[in-house]
Amino acid sequence: MKRLFVLLCLVLIVLLPSGHAQVFAGVSNLDEPDGSPQLGLIPEQWLAISFTTASGTEWSLNSAVLRLVRYGTPGPLTVSLNSDASGQPGTPIAQFSSTMLLESGLVNRLFVLSDPVPLTAGETYWIVGAGASSNFDNHFGWKSTDGSGAETGLPGWTLSDHPAVSFNQGSSWAVRSDYPPFKVAINVVPEPGEYALAGGLCLAGFALCRRRGNRWR
């Protein structure tokens, strides 16, 4: 029994090392076929899609992947994590950065956070994209899905069926039932509390095993 607990502890250390937490796809529709439309990310048209975490376990947002097409030489692109305000994007929580904006064509582009942001269980959040160029020869377009596939990821996590759009730089938003969902993946890591709980259980089990071993001598 003691050897079993030691083995479990070693597995825990290998799978969940401090500072290098394993990244999980919280929810994604990137595997769904591409839809025909892609909407432009320009100052006059901000775009957003929401996701909802599962109830129970706490996670932290690590990064997001957006399927974007690049035309010409667009200006900077801003991608943020926002709270939910009665079913539409609310206050910005954190800003993403990306090193994949110079790649041309249609690419799954990774956007990362400098520090993972804790997510509340059973809560809705928004990924918001805003472009800097109004020139449609030099802009990013956010690709949609065709709706024929299934979402993948952790049980209980969901993506919204319809995106939101703002025509006044985020002052107001409208959820568009006539727009298909954008292609996105939400990447998360377990909250530090999950590591502490697993480690505590491991140590408690080892201590119990040791006491029993002393009793049997």
pLDDT at residue number 198:
44
What's the predicted TM-score (pTM) here?
0.80
**Residue 44 is part of which domain span?**
24-207
Identify whether 15 is part of a domain: no
Cα–Cα nearest to 162, from 146, 145, 179, 150: 179
Identify whether 10 is part of a domain: no
pLDDT tens sequence for the chain (217 residues): 455 444 444 433 444 444 456 999 999 999 999 998 899 999 999 999 999 999 998 999 999 999 999 999 888 899 999 999 999 999 999 999 998 888 899 999 999 999 999 999 999 999 999 998 888 789 999 999 998 888 999 999 999 999 999 999 999 999 999 899 999 999 999 987 544 444 444 444 444 445 444 443 4
CATH code for the domain in which residue 100 is found: 2.60.120
Instruction: State CA 17 to chain mean position distance.
Output: 21
pLDDT at residue number 119:
97
Identify whether 18 is part of a domain: no
Structure tokens at 199: 């480690």
Identify whether 148 is part of a domain: yes
Tell me how many domains the chain contains.
1
Q: 206, 5 in Cβ contact below 8 A? A: yes
